[in-house]
Structure 1
Amino acid sequence: MKTILKNSLIIIFLTFYSMQAQDTIMPLWPENKIPNRIESDEKEVRDYTNILRISKVQEPTIEVYLPSKSNANGQAVLIFPGGGYHILAYDWEGTDIAKFLNGKGIAGIVVKYRLPSDVSQKEKYNVPLIDAQRAMRMVRSKAKDWNIQEDKIGIIGFSAGGHLASTLGTHFNEKVYAAVDEMDEASARPDFMALGYPVVTFTQTTKHSGSEKNLLGDTDNGDLEKHFSNELQVTANTPPTFLIHATDDGSVPVENSLLFFQALKDKGVSATMHIYPKGGHGFSLAREDVHLRGWTERLFEWMESLE
Structure 2
Amino acid sequence: MKTLFSCILLCLMLSTAYSQEIILSLWEGTPPLQNDMGLEEKAVEEGIIRIENVQTPQIEVFLPSKQSRTGQAVVIFPGGGYHILAYDWEGRDFAKWLNTQGIVGIVVKYRLPDSKSLTDAKEVPLLDAQRAIRLARHHAEEWKIDPEKIGVLGFSAGGHLASTVSTQYAHEVDRPKDAIDALSARPDFSILAYPVISFRDASAHSGSRRNLIGENASQELIDRFSGELNVTEETPPTFLVHAQDDKGVPIENSFLYYKALHAKGVPASLHIYPSGGHGFGFGFGKGPVSGWREVLLDWMVDLK
Tell me, yes or no, whether TM beats 0.5: yes
> 1:152-203 deviations in whole A, cap 9, x for unaligned?
0000000000000000000001113535321111100000000000000011
Per the TM alignment, residue 23 of structure 1 is displaced from its structure 2 partner at its CA by 1.2
Compute the TM-score of the two structures, normalised by the length of structure 2. Answer: 0.92
> What is the rounded CA distance, in whole Å, between the counterparts of 1:20 and 1:98 in structure 2?
9
Counterpart in 1 of 2:28? 30
Contact 1:161/1:198 (8 A) holds in 2: yes
Counterpart in 1 of 2:59? 62
Per the TM alignment, residue 204 of structure 1 is displaced from its structure 2 partner at its CA by 3.4
Q: How does 1:1-150 map to 2 (within 5 A)?
A: 22-32=20-30, 34-117=31-114, 119-150=116-147
Matched position secondary structure for 1:22: strand
Letter in 2 for 1:116: P
Matched position secondary structure for 2:68: coil
Higher mean C-alpha deviation, range 178-187 or range 99-108: 178-187
Letter in 2 for 1:215: L
Which residue, 198, 221, 224 being the options, matches 2:221? 224
> What is the rounded CA distance, in whole Å, between the counterparts of 2:176 and 2:72 in structure 1?
26
Compute the TM-score of the two structures, normalised by the length of structure 1. Answer: 0.91
Q: How does 1:207-218 map to 2 (within 5 A)?
A: 207-218=204-215
Give the alignment's Cα RMSD to 1 decimal: 1.5
Counterpart in 1 of 2:163? 166
Counterpart in 1 of 2:237? 240
Counterpart in 2 of 1:195? 192
> 1:44-77 deviations in whole A, cap 9, x for unaligned?
0001010000000000000000101110000000
Which residue, 259, 263, 266 being the options, matches 1:266? 263
Contact 1:137/1:183 (8 A) holds in 2: yes
Contact 1:78/1:111 (8 A) holds in 2: yes
> What is the rounded CA distance, in whole Å, between the counterparts of 1:174 and 1:89 in structure 2?
26
Count how many residue pairs are aligned between Structure 1 and Structure 2: 289
Counterpart in 2 of 1:13? none
Which residue, 276, 279, 282 being the options, matches 1:282? 279
Which stretches in structure 2 are left out of the alignment for 5+ residues? 1-15
Contact 1:125/1:215 (8 A) holds in 2: yes
Per the TM alignment, residue 21 of structure 1 is displaced from its structure 2 partner at its CA by 5.7
Counterpart in 1 of 2:181? 184
Rg larger in structure: 1
Percent of residue pairs bearing the same amino acid type? 52
Which stretches in structure 1 are left out of the alignment for 5+ residues? 1-17
Contact 1:35/1:177 (8 A) holds in 2: no
Per the TM alignment, residue 244 of structure 1 is displaced from its structure 2 partner at its CA by 0.1
> 1:131-165 deviations in whole A, cap 9, x for unaligned?
00000000011000001000000000000000000
Letter in 1 for 2:20: Q
